[in-house]
């Protein structure tokens, strides 16, 4: 009952400012498939500073040469707002703080801020550290005090705090008291296993805030139960004023609480203020920047920043969104740097097609018979296997040709593809020949690659680049094949989706056939035609 009373009191606090602590460069890189070079980490730090992040956790000095190089390099940056934090653990059990090599490396990093974690859960104290409960309290206090005495702002991360509190609340509180005696500036409660649900976060965080009314408290949540963002917001509701998380939810196992969801929820839904709030319209750009450096494909389903976050497919939805955007959009997409999109499918109605055409800058007469014929034709193409959800470029070409707004940049006279293997130990060689008519002139080229699609792509470019040099910037980024009617075995219809880019824009094209090469040709042809159409706008 006392915990519930504390929750009510802190929910009504007048302090509406929240500090954002980003641990993408440390905790985030513990995620599977996430790795940043030293140069990447320096660039990300600058981006975070520009975005208004308050604290940037740069890494663990001494854990690897890359982090040591980062802390040397980051000293040269002239950051306008962000504070860089070095991360580490409390001293070892049988070594004094002044003699502990790891604490020495934290001081050598020369950061203004140091974040150290200590054990809150007796299970870890006795079974992992193999020390006593009292010795652990001394380790926490000594480590914090050493860093504070050396002029550092110390953020204390109470590892496994919620599990420790559930197991033995009295001891978990004692660990925080030890950090306070040492001089910690912040007490951050960590749901390290990611197993707590919202009510547990509220109750325990509220209790801590009531007990430590003179201290600043934060939360650090993981997403193992799928509620990392909800847990973090719940912690803020009851009075936590530091949020620790990662961009795009990078992190070990399932990942950390995702700041690209936390920040806009706090700013737009919960009326909290943050230094990064004035840069919220750059959030999607920042999310994509990090995915690009991590060499990851962006999660299109990510709330707020994903490409699908404000995308409409069903005809009823699109019709309503066209009339009143907020009828199917919980915020204005531009607030987070995103935009409204419409995807076309056999579920599309007149409104969907009209909205998509408008998005692409194409005028359609909604009252004319042409729109009905276009819808009927589109539904037949979808029935035949074509899909335009990930192939905006192919759909734009379809509209342009339907409305006779596009000239023929080239006409196919024919192509041929040969795949040859010379002996068991030799690699495959694919050769493609393409014959095109461009402005009445025949262009006949041949190219080789290790695969038939690559050879066809090269031959097509060679045939066109003398007349259309702009296609030299186009590169094939992704290639997907899907069998549409597997019951036909090797004779099944195939859909090919290609993603292309010219360094400025990314677009998708589609091809369908019962022949893989023909389906690939259609998608490759559309990719090149879209670039040519784009360059003539």
pLDDT, tens digit (0-9, with 9 covering 90-100), for 20-31: 999 999 999 999
Lowest mean pLDDT among 260-264, 335-339, 365-369: 365-369
CB-hemisphere CA count at 13 Å for 214?
5
| Most confident segment among 16-20, 345-349, 380-384 | 16-20
pLDDT of residue 181: 96
* Cβ neighbourhood burial of 315 (10 Å; 0-12, 13-18, 19+): middle
pLDDT of residue 348: 52
Q: Is this structure's pTM higher than 0.75?
A: no
Neighbours of 525 (CB within 10 A): 19
User: To 10 degrees, the CA torsion angle through 210, 16, 288, 71?
Assistant: -60
pLDDT of residue 6: 35
pLDDT tens readout for residues 142-162:
999 999 999 999 999 999 999
Which pLDDT score, from 0 to 100, does residue 10 have? 37
Q: How large is the average pLDDT for residues 291-298? A: 87
User: What pLDDT shows up at residue 185?
Assistant: 96
Provide mean pLDDT across the span 115-126.
Answer: 90
Domain ranges of the chain: 2-293, 311-383, 411-535
Kind of pairing, strands 311-312 and 441-449? unpaired
411-535 in CATH: which number? Answer: 3.30.160.270
DSSP letter, residue 342: E
Q: What's the mean pLDDT when you consider all of the chain?
A: 86
Please provide residue 455's backbone torsions phi and psi, each rounded to the nearest 5 degrees: -65, -40
Torsion angle of C-alpha atoms 277, 281, 287, 290, degrees rounded to 10: -90
pLDDT score recorded for residue 13: 44
Tell me what percent of the residues of the chain surpass a pLDDT of 70: 86
Is the pLDDT assigned to residue 340 strictly greater than 80?
Answer: no
311-326 average pLDDT score = 60
Query: Which are the contacts of 212, defined by CB distance < 8 A and separation ≥ 6?
Result: 176, 180, 187
**Residues 409-430: pLDDT tens digits?**
999 999 999 998 877 777 788 9
Higher pLDDT, 267 or 490: 267
Question: Band of the pLDDT at 7, cuts 50, 70, 90?
Answer: very low
111 pLDDT above the threshold of 80: yes
Of 224, 282, 222, 215, which Cα lies nearest the Cα of 242? 215
CA 448 to chain centroid, in Å, comes to 37
For range 317-341, the mean pLDDT: 73
pLDDT tens digits along 43-91: 999 999 999 999 999 999 977 788 889 999 999 999 999 999 999 999 9
2-293 topology per CATH: TIM Barrel (3.20.20)
Whether the per-residue pLDDT at 2 is higher than 50: the answer is: no
pLDDT of residue 344: 59
């Amino acid at each position: 009952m006392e915990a519930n009373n504390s929750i009510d009191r802190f929910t009504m606090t007048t302090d509406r400012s929240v500090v954002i602590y980003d641990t993408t460069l440390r905790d985030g890189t513990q995620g599977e498939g996430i790795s940043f070079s030293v140069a990447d980490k320096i660039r990300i730090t600058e981006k975070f500073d520009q975005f208004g992040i308050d604290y940037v956790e740069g890494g663990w000095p001494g854990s690897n040469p890359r982090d040591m190089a980062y802390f040397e390099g980051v000293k040269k940056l002239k950051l306008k707002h962000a504070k860089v934090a070095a991360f580490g653990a409390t001293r070892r059990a049988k070594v004094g703080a002044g003699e502990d090599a790891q604490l020495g490396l934290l001081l050598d990093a020369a950061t203004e801020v140091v974040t150290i974690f200590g054990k809150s859960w007796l299970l870890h104290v006795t079974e992992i550290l193999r020390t006593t409960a009292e010795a652990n309290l001394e380790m926490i206090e000594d480590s914090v005090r050493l860093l504070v005495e050396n002029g550092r702002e110390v953020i204390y991360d109470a590892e496994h705090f919620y599990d420790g509190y559930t197991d033995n609340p009295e001891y978990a509180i004692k660990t925080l008291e030890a950090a306070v005696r040492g001089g910690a500036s912040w007490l951050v409660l960590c749901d390290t296993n990611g197993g707590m649900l919202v009510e547990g976060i509220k109750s325990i965080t509220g209790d801590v805030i009531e007990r430590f009314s003179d201290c600043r408290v934060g939360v650090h949540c993981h997403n193992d139960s799928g509620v990392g963002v909800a847990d973090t917001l719940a912690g803020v509701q009851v009075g936590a004023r530091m949020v620790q998380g990662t961009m795009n939810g990078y992190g070990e196992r399932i990942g950390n609480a995702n700041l690209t969801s936390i920040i806009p929820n706090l700013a737009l839904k919960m009326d909290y203020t943050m230094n990064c709030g004035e840069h919220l319209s750059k959030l999607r750009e920042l999310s994509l920047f990090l995915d690009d450096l991590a060499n990851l494909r962006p999660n299109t389903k990510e709330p707020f920043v994903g490409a699908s976050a404000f995308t409409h497919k069903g005809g009823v939805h699109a019709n309503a969104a066209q009339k009143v955007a907020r009828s199917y959009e919980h915020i204005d997409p531009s607030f987070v740097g995103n935009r409204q999109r419409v995807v076309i499918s056999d579920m599309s109605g007149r409104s969907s097609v009209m909205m998509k055409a408008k998005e692409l800058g194409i005028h359609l007469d909604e009252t004319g018979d042409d729109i009905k014929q276009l819808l009927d034709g589109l539904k037949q193409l979808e029935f035949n296997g074509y899909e335009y959800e990930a192939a905006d470029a192919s759909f734009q070409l379809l509209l342009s040709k339907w409305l006779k707004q596009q000239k023929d940049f080239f006409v196919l006279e024919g192509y041929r593809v040969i795949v040859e293997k010379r002996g068991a130990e030799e690699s495959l060689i694919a050769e493609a020949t393409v014959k095109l008519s461009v402005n009445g002139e025949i262009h006949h080229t041949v190219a080789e690659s290790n695969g038939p699609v690559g050879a066809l792509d090269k031959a097509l470019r060679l045939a066109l680049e003398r007349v259309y040099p702009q296609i030299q910037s186009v590169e094939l980024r992704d290639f997907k094949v899907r069998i549409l009617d597997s019951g036909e075995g090797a004779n099944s219809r195939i859909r090919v989706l290609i993603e292309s880019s010219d360094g400025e824009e990314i677009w998708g094209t589609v091809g369908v056939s019962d022949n893989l090469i023909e389906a690939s040709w259609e998608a490759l042809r559309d990719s090149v035609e879209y670039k040519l159409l784009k360059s003539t706008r």
